[in-house]
Amino acid sequence: MEKLEIKARKVNSTLSKLKSKKKVGRKLFDDKNEEIVLQKLEQVWGIGGSDKEAAFFGGISIRAYYDYLKKHSTISARKEALKNQPILKARQELVRGLSGNPELAFKYLERKLPDEFGLKGQVKVEEVKVEVVYGKKTSQGKQKKL
């Protein structure tokens, strides 16, 4: 009976050691300051940069980049919002430029409302009669292969 109790204690102590082991492997950003890396990532996202560009500028691997975004869904949502920022700025500039430039305003309307303002090109199609003859006899009585 005592032997069973001793074995049970050994098994329990082994299990507790396994559970309390520290995580092994590289840290996510190789001991870089997370706040600084995040600021760099946001800079690139704010100008519409790609994921590879953001990881490079932040000084982290692309794998660490994707692992970080997977663990932090709020950061991932912020990334999408920042990536849209340049598009919104371009739209604002376009709308500001419309007021003094009627040609630009017309081009904008042509693309946004093509049914109403688009160019209606007319295409003239002439009727052409085409006759295809297979196996036409030549003057020598032989069939000509096409």
- 50-63: b or e for each residue (b if 16 or more CB lie within 10 Å)? ebeebbbebebeee
Residues 6+ apart with CB under 8 A from 64: 28, 29, 30, 55
pLDDT at 14: 65
pLDDT at 7: 63
> Which residue positions in the chain have pLDDT lower than 50?
none
pLDDT at 40: 96
Neighbouring C-beta atoms of residue 37, cutoff 10 Å: 22
pLDDT in tens, 122-139: 667 788 787 777 776 655
pLDDT at 100: 85
pLDDT at 144: 55
Q: Diameter of the chain by CA atoms?
A: 117
Phi-psi map region of 5: left, alpha, beta (phi>0 left; psi -120 to 50 alpha) = alpha
Whole-angstrom distance, CA of residue 120 vs CA of residue 139: 52
Residue 98's closest CA among 89, 109, 87, 82? 109
